[in-house]
């Protein structure tokens, strides 16, 4: 009888412990998921205190303006840079399980450069790209891109930021099958902001060597030509930064080199900063800056003094 009572008590105690553990896990997960929001809330509160305790009217006014700018994410890049990252961390959480994906990343990219990001599968390349391009919010750290601090911006202001500043080229071309080459490129033009300078359609078609194909539909084109249309669509927006995640992943050597050269030509002709993610180490030779990512950290940064053209590099 006594033993049975003891067993029951043990079971109840174990259940209690499991409940406490689960509660603690949930609490931790919530903290990690909201790490960015919580940090902003804290910063806002201490800034407000600073404003309230300021007695000088002029200084108070200045602080209030500073507050508005900071929490709208208005912050200047350092001179000549289009990207300034300091102390970037990224967590992904699934229920109570949080993974720390990017670890305390610092990075500076001058405007108009060609950057290539290399690293093993799962090392965090796309995550970094998605954060710089405003698709994914950082968990902590300053991520200043073209005078916007993405850490302080909410989803809708990051969407506006993308509209104004960013274009993407992906491995899959994502063209609209019922539209011709020129119409597909115009989709990008329609995404361009009013105050951004237009790049003429003839110029785009010429740069991408698509003038002859302009009235054709995607199914009538080769893989390389389709990728060039998707590059054209990205270019028509005239972005400050062009991001490419495995842009030649679906192409053979000849077509891959052609597409890569098109991206390099755009960089040269329009001074568009080009940031590419790839598994192909040969891309290092065409870039100004090479970033090696390992387990969510930048393990090496190389600044190239000389660059090759796409046709002069080895491919595999």
Ligand X SMILES: Nc1ncnc2c1ncn2[C@@H]1O[C@H](COP(=O)(O)OP(=O)(O)OP(=O)(O)O)[C@@H](O)[C@H]1O
Nearer to ligand X, 48 or 279 (CB): 279
Contact status, residue 185 vs residue 201, Cβ threshold 8 Å: yes
CA distance 228 to 243: 14
Least gap, CB of 83 to ligand X (angstroms): 17
Sign for the CA dihedral angle at 174, 176, 180, 184 comes to negative
- Residue 33 contacts ligand X per CB under 6 A: no
Q: What is the DSSP string of 250-306?
A: TS-HHHHHHHHHHHHHHHHHH--EEEEE-S-GGGGGG-SEEEEEETTEEEEEEE-SS
- Residue 119 contacts ligand X per CB under 6 A: yes
Give which of Mg ion, ligand X, none residue 53 binds (C-beta under 5 to 8 Å, depending on kind). Answer: none
Q: Convert residues 44-83 into a mask of x (bound to ligand X by CB under 6 A) and - (unbound).
A: ----------------------------------------
Binding span for ligand X by CB under 6 A among 65-73, 118-126, 178-186, 300-308:
118-126
- Residue 92 contacts ligand X per CB under 6 A: yes
Burial 301-311 (b: 16+ CB within 10 A, else e): eeebeeeeebe
- Residue 130 contacts Mg ion per CB under 5 A: no
Nearer to Mg ion, 105 or 153 (CB): 105
CB-count burial class (<10 Å; 0-12, 13-18, 19+) for 111: middle
User: Of 104, 126, 147, 304, which one interacts with Mg ion (CB under 5 A)?
Assistant: 126
Residues belonging to the chain: 316
- Residue 101 contacts ligand X per CB under 6 A: yes
Q: Note the residues at the interface with Mg ion (CB under 5 A).
A: 126
Q: Note the residues at the interface with ligand X (CB under 6 A).
A: 92, 101, 119, 121-127
């Amino acid at each position: 009888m006594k033993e049975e009572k003891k067993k029951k008590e043990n079971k109840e105690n174990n259940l209690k412990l499991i409940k406490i553990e689960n509660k603690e896990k949930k609490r931790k997960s919530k903290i990690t998921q909201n790490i960015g929001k919580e940090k902003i809330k804290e910063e806002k509160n201490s800034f407000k205190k600073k404003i309230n305790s300021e007695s000088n009217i002029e200084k108070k006014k200045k602080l209030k303006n500073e507050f508005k700018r900071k929490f709208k994410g208005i912050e200047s890049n350092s001179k000549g840079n289009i990207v300034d990252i300091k102390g970037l961390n990224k967590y992904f959480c699934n229920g109570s399980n949080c993974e720390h994906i990017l670890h305390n990343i610092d990075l500076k990219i001058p405007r108009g450069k060609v950057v290539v990001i290399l690293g093993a599968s799962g090392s965090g390349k796309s995550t970094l790209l998605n954060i710089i391009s405003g698709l994914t919010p950082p968990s902590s750290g300053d991520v200043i891109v073209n005078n916007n601090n993405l850490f302080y911006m909410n989803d809708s202001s990051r969407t506006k930021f993308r509209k104004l500043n960013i274009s993407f080229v992906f491995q899959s071309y994502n063209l609209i099958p019922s539209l011709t080459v020129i119409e597909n490129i115009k989709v990008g033009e329609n995404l361009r902001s009013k105050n951004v300078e237009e790049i003429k359609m003839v110029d785009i078609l010429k740069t991408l060597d698509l003038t002859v194909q302009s009235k054709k539909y995607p199914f009538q084109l080769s893989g390389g030509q389709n990728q060039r249309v998707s590059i054209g669509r990205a270019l028509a927006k005239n972005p400050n930064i062009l991001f490419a995640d495995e842009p030649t992943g679906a192409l053979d050597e000849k077509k891959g080199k052609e597409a890569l050269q098109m991206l390099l030509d755009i960089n040269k002709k329009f001074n568009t900063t080009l940031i590419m993610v790839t598994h192909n180490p040969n891309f290092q030779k065409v870039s100004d800056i090479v970033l090696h990512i390992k387990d969510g950290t930048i393990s090496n940064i190389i600044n190239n003094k000389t660059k090759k053209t796409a046709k002069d590099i080895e491919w595999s």
